[in-house]
Structure 1
Amino acid sequence: MLQDFVLQSPDLVLKADSNVTLSYKRDSRNYITQVFAEQLPAVKTGFFNVHMSKGIIIQPHWHTNVTETLVVITGKVKTSVFNPFTQERMTYKLGPGQVSVFPRGWFHWIVAKSDDVHLLAIFDRPTPDIVYGSDFLRSIPKEIMNRAYGVNEEDYVKAVAPIQESVILGPPVSGATQPW
């Protein structure tokens, strides 16, 4: 039997406040806090505590090393995940108490469909890697988009120009939005 030395520590703490460690803040209504091993060494998983207002999106992204389980606490969201085996998008409307799973490596996103959304994004490992679509898109050279997909180079440059940094809770503050 493997011994868990963290649990044998004389300084063992088995609680944490999920409101303390800020992971990302867009504004006072849209922010993410967290509890992972750094905040609670005895935890074998971790989670993001997410707060969103209507129309805000957790941008398209994927995790290279974890499966994510999303639990809606309050509000309504629409989740979408791209199934790499069927090449289809799977979309779900969720409310309080409902759950969605995003398997490791599957591209997914979440849109707040009401104000005062609160959800937990729980991971099966204590340190999730995250690849953001915004980072991926802005790093692809215009010549590659043209060669691979026939996308007009100037159109591509214009399309990704508003993406100046990682967009976690979008749209970008400076960007225009369309109703969805």
Structure 2
Amino acid sequence: MSVSYMDYTSPNVQFTYDLRNNPFFRKDSQNYINALSIKQLNTLGNVSMLDIYLSTGNVVEPHIHQNASELVYCVTGAAVVSLINPFTKKLLNFPIQPGQVANVPQGWWHYEVATVDNTHLIAIFDAPIPEFIPASDMLRLTPASVFAHTYCLNEALVKQTFAPITDTVVIGPPANCQKPMPTPQVQGVTQTAPVHAGKPHHHQHHHHQHYYPGINHREADAYYPQQSIGNGWTYDQYEPPYGQ
């Protein structure tokens, strides 16, 4: 339990707050984040939160919280919380539905992808103010020459690849994105799906199974077999998590 030095007799003491008064980021009316920290509610101890709303296929971009662990709770909708275990060097994907949580240890690389519309997540942190380092800032602010030299890459191609990232993304894809998504290949099946910001496309699939880019088909969501998650992608079935 954190130590509080709050004067609870002060006329400025706060016990309640409306998160709608503190928007952290807004992409559009379906994709936005409100925040609560000790700056908004001065009686908070070692805790803070983000109130996250996402539509299908939208992503809270890869990032770390260098000062806090994060507990992601699904209120409505569904999402996949993905993180990299720095000790095993493995990418882990955890589908969550209402009433389920996924925990991200402090400083671990992670991101969240909404798999249905009207997804509402609450992220709870064990710090009075969560710190946030997004991938978009690291990619756009690190010189292309450093990436090229460090990883033996073509500097011109690195510049070209990262040039569209001109600001912190937070929720991706950016609202003006019209480029096709990468073409993943899973068990010999490929699909290129266009990104239309704010208007995810839902396609009927009869003989083929497609998977969300970046999520291993054996770690896809058991709860949504053949569930469209927008942009033409669906999940395959796999062994159910949570001991079911």
> Do these two structures clear the TM 0.5 threshold for a shared fold by scoring above it?
yes
108-117 or 154-163: bigger deviation: 154-163
Look up the match of 2:37: 36
Look up the match of 2:169: 167
Q: Distance in 2 between matches of 1:64 and 1:3?
A: 23
Contact 1:70–1:121 under 8 Å retained in 2: yes
2:101 to 84, 87, 99: 99
5-14 or 78-87: bigger deviation: 5-14
TM-score (norm 1): 0.93
Q: Report SS of the residue matched to 2:63.
A: strand
Q: Report SS of the residue matched to 2:8.
A: coil
Task: Give the direction of change, closer, same or farther, for the CA distance of 1:63–1:4 in structure 2 (3 Å limit).
Answer: same
Q: Distance in 2 between matches of 1:138 and 1:34?
A: 25
Contact 2:51–2:122 under 8 Å retained in 1: yes
**Cα root mean square deviation, aligned:** 1.5
2:152 to 140, 150, 153: 150
Structure 2 residue runs without a partner (length 5+): 182-192, 194-211, 213-244
- Is the aligned partner of 1:85 residue 2:91? no
Q: Distance in 1 between matches of 2:180 and 2:79?
A: 17
Q: Distance in 2 between matches of 1:64 and 1:119?
A: 20
Look up the match of 2:72: 70
Q: Distance in 2 between matches of 1:131 and 1:93?
A: 23
Contact 1:6–1:42 under 8 Å retained in 2: no
Q: Report SS of the residue matched to 2:20.
A: coil
TM-score (norm 2): 0.70
Structure 1 vs Structure 2: percent identity of aligned residues?
32
State the shift of 1:94 in Å: 0.7
Contact 1:51–1:119 under 8 Å retained in 2: yes
Which AA in structure 2 matches 1:21?
Answer: N
2:139 to 137, 141, 145: 137
State the shift of 1:35 in Å: 1.6
Q: Report SS of the residue matched to 1:156.
A: helix
Structure showing greater radius of gyration is: 2
Task: Give the direction of change, closer, same or farther, for the CA distance of 1:144–1:12 in structure 2 (3 Å limit).
Answer: closer
169-178 or 18-27: bigger deviation: 169-178
Q: Distance in 1 between matches of 2:97 and 2:4?
A: 40
State the shift of 1:20 in Å: 2.1
Higher relative contact order (CA 8 A, sep 6+): 1
103-112 or 33-42: bigger deviation: 33-42
Structure 1 residue runs without a partner (length 5+): none
- Is the aligned partner of 1:52 residue 2:54? yes
Q: Distance in 2 between matches of 1:49 and 1:146?
A: 37
Q: Report SS of the residue matched to 2:19.
A: coil
Q: Distance in 2 between matches of 1:170 and 1:109?
A: 11
104-113 or 145-154: bigger deviation: 145-154
Q: Report SS of the residue matched to 1:9.
A: coil
Q: Distance in 2 between matches of 1:74 and 1:159?
A: 35
The structure that is strand-richer by fraction is: 1
Task: Give the direction of change, closer, same or farther, for the CA distance of 1:86–1:28 in structure 2 (3 Å limit).
Answer: same
